[in-house]
Chain A
Amino acid sequence: MPSLKDLKNRIESVKSTRKITKAMQMVAAAKLRRSQEAAEAARPYAERMKAVTGGLAASVGTAEGAPRLLSGTGADQVHLLVVMTSERGLCGGFNSSIVRLARARIGTLLAEGKTVKLLTVGKKGREQLKRDHKDRIIAHIDLGAVKQVGYANAAGIAADVLGRFDAGEFDVATIFFNRFQSVISQVPTAQQVVPAVLDAAGEGPDTLYDYEPSEGAVLEDLLPRGVATHIFTALLENAASEQGARMSAMDNATRNAGDMIDKLTIRFNRSRQAVITNELIEIISGAEAL
């Protein structure tokens, strides 16, 4: 039976925990709004990019000598998985869900006899994957110092990935991230970026375009940008998801702390009452004994 003093200390400590989680929740809410705005602002660019690339690829795609970024290397032996997670914890199942999806993919790929290489973005995913895929991690990109992800960050990652592709280090690249649906739901998603996957929906461009300098050259310029855009979109979705996940995790924690305080307070009051009753009994029995 903890003493009254112990209970009091506990209540105080849970109260300060609640203050912290409450503050974190509010910070996450503010950051979430900013991330969502950033994701929204990036949407027009990504959409135009997709439309133009899709139209172009439809006309060039199947021809001989199509860029390798589109046609692939002709093999799918070596897979590069780019696992994007957050730099910070305390965001519920955000990181675990991405890592779980990546792990499942690694499992199936290995079972098929493929080679798997990992590139991790964000500290948390790396820590989790290091446990059983340590030798597969070929690189790690740290975004710890970055406050708001910018296109430059995405371009950096894309340059890294494309450099490895040109060096023949892998055949297929897939990015793993959480797609933001709402504050309470983020969907872990895997998206193939190399070779580029294009929607078959765009049967062909609706207008006939002139291309300067040439179709092939434009496409070759576009495809690496497309990869960077995909990664940028993923980073933004991830940032929004992270804040959303943190917000709901912290909301839960705050509520839980509240429940705990209620329970502890009841226990504290009961113990205090017991102490008072005890003292009374002692006084009364002492008086009776006289």
Chain B
Amino acid sequence: MDKNQNTSNKRKENCSDENKCFELLESILDGEGTADSKEILNEKIAKCQPCFEHYHLEKVIKEILQNKCTKHMVPSELAATIRQKIQDLK
């Protein structure tokens, strides 16, 4: 039986154009999608297992990058040093 044959409740196991699809899914995650591409997204997620997995994995990676990445505190004197140097320029 053809593994890629699509049934109404089972996603196909291989994506015919992963690179293009994944780039599109990522651009939608990044807020760059158009109305059209959102329809395509819903369709892909419903019907294609690699697209479904890629979308959810990229979504959670984006979230941990945003929420968990170490933030570096700006040295307290930096703003004052910059202002002083600007004054010296005048």
Is chain B a partner of chain A in the same complex? Answer: no
Q: A-side interface residues toward B, CB under 8 Å?
A: none
Q: B-side interface residues toward A, CB under 8 Å?
A: none
